[in-house]
Amino acid sequence: MVVASFMAFLLVFLAIGIASAFKSRGTKADYYLASGNVAPWLVGLSAVATNNSGYMFIGVIGFTYAVGLSAVWLMIGWIGGDFIASFYIHRELRISTGRTREVTFAGVLSRWNGHDYRVLRIVAALITLAFLGAYAAAQLSAGGKALQAMFDWDPQTGTLLVAGTVAIYCLAGGIRASIWTDAAQSMVMVSAMAVLFYVAVAAAGGPAATWQQISGIPGYLNWFPDDLIIPGISGPILFAVGWLFAGFSVVGQPHIMVRFMALDDPSHLARARTYYYSYFVVFYLLATGVGVMARIHLPELGALDPELALPEMAQKLLPPALTGLVMAGIFAATMSTADSLVLACSSALTHDLIPQRLEKSWQLKGATLLVTLLALGIALNGTQSVFALVILAWSTLASAFAPLLLIYAMKKRVSEKTAIAMMLIGVLVAFIWRYLGLHNDIYEGMPGILAGVATYYLVSWRAGTSTIK
């Protein structure tokens, strides 16, 4: 019954994606950007589904299970930083997309100021391919972990199932298929979380009994981790600000920002934002709550793999039909992000890296299939946790692209050499921060983004000094 319910939802997603092919115009702009004609509500729901990936169902719930209340800073910071960034950057990105008529994130960055910075385009595309490819592999791995816990299948089976489904509807309708399925998936994701949270609280004896049980876990209700590297008041402040930068990092994620690039009109951004943040807040609250409830119902899981908390708890508490709903929610999250990542990598390959840009439909779809197979290969051979792999890719992309987009949105002109230096220095600083182990206390994207912005102002200051001399 569980498998039947799960497969029914999966077939619905597949049918929606395939149906989008009937609106295809057969052009590159349509395949990668839906001809820039996507309604605000679809942009909002698609962006929230893409943002809240398998890492939310698997990684965040596992992280909350392990650390307790301090995990709430992921929600506060992520949504708060994202919200702040949207007021400075999203509209400018959509306007620049229309002005440059580019269909890729790297393409818009390279032509923002009216020049075609070819080297910048290549560097941005290579970063996109490398880290979005790893990110896509993490989503496929999340699907494998979920099926392993729920059906006791080999994890490679779930990985193959997600990859195959994504490939089918992406090949059929491109980003329009991704956006249409995202909208349906966002509704299933929220429904799955809400059902499981309600049942978990009821099974624990209600809100009062739940609170009493959580209060009995040492340190679980602490607002901040006990082992911050910086003691005193500054430690908690920097910990919280670090996650604010994690949310701001959304503007550096090509697979999410392309949704706003595809919006039908820049003046409709406020409406898209309303849908986006409404769903985002509800979903993140539910995910955090489910992570807490898993600690009550599955205390033994801490010695095994906390990232299996959601499927294990669903199997324990829910009837078969609703268990299928939760499984569909997990797969909806992994697919809604995986398809976006695959298409972003495909567009970088066909439009930004290959000297003679590919235009024929079969060439674009061939690149999409190739990227899917590469991500699948990484997923089948990788062993790193979903949470760690996503954070690594997320912070690297943010350190590369967020500083440049911020400076662009401030109406500053940036030379190609300066733009490349900003990207590479930001990434280097983020990697050094992680290598030193400081990312356990402060998100590495924070120093990476600050280093990129500082690079621009340092170059500008030196150029001004040279002019005066």
Q: What is the pLDDT of residues 413-424, one digit of tens each?
A: 999 999 999 999
DSSP state of 132: H
* Centroid of chain to Cα 152: 27
Q: Higher pLDDT residue, 469 or 33? A: 33
The reported pLDDT for the residue numbered 302 is 61
Residue 212 lies in a domain: yes
Provide the percentage of residues in the chain whose pLDDT is more than 70: 90
Residue-wise DSSP of 282-320: HHHHHHHHHHHHHHHH-GGGGGS-GGGHHHHHHHHHS-H
Cα–Cα distances (Å) from 227 to 221, 241, 288, 442, 444, in that order, read 15, 17, 21, 12, 17
Residue 103 lies in a domain: yes
Residue 426 lies in a domain: no
Please give the Cα distance from 436 to 240 (Å, whole number).
20
The reported pLDDT for the residue numbered 415 is 94
Q: Which domain holds residue 203?
A: 2-384
* Centroid of chain to Cα 456: 27
Average pLDDT over the chain, rounded to an integer: 85
Tell me what the mean pLDDT of segment 262-271 comes to.
93
Count of domains forming the chain: 1
Q: What is the pLDDT of residues 72-130, one digit of tens each?
A: 877 888 889 999 999 889 999 999 999 999 999 999 999 998 888 999 999 999 999 98
Please give the Cα distance from 142 to 119 (Å, whole number).
35
Write the CB contacts of 378 (distance below 8 Å, at least 6 apart in sequence). Answer: 133, 134, 136, 137
The reported pLDDT for the residue numbered 419 is 96
Please give the Cα distance from 125 to 347 (Å, whole number).
9
Does residue 468 have a pLDDT over 50? Answer: no
The reported pLDDT for the residue numbered 348 is 92
Please give the Cα distance from 401 to 252 (Å, whole number).
5
CATH code of the domain containing 91: 1.20.1730.10
- Sequence letter at residue 453: V
Tell me what the mean pLDDT of segment 381-400 comes to.
76
Residue 433 lies in a domain: no
Please give the Cα distance from 439 to 229 (Å, whole number).
10
Tokens of 167: 């490939």
17-38 b/e with 16+ CB inside 10 Å = b?
Answer: bbbbeeebeeebbbbbbbbbeb
Q: What is the pLDDT of residues 170-186, one digit of tens each?
A: 888 899 988 998 888 88
Please give the Cα distance from 259 to 337 (Å, whole number).
12
Strand-pairing partners, residue 38, are 263
Tell me what the mean pLDDT of segment 380-394 comes to.
69
Write the CB contacts of 298 (distance below 8 Å, at least 6 apart in sequence). Answer: 65, 309, 312, 313, 316
Residue 68 lies in a domain: yes
* Centroid of chain to Cα 225: 24
Indicate the pLDDT class of residue 331, thresholds 50, 70 and 90.
confident
Residue 251 lies in a domain: yes
Tell me what the mean pLDDT of segment 442-465 comes to.
89
Residue 140 lies in a domain: yes
DSSP state of 38: B
Please give the Cα distance from 396 to 426 (Å, whole number).
8
Residue 222 lies in a domain: yes
Write the CB contacts of 301 (distance below 8 Å, at least 6 apart in sequence). Answer: 65, 294, 308, 309, 312
Task: Find out whether 290 and 310 touch, Cβ atoms under 8 Å.
Answer: yes
Tokens of 306: 């906390």
Q: Higher pLDDT residue, 333 or 16? A: 16
Does residue 134 have a pLDDT over 80? Answer: yes
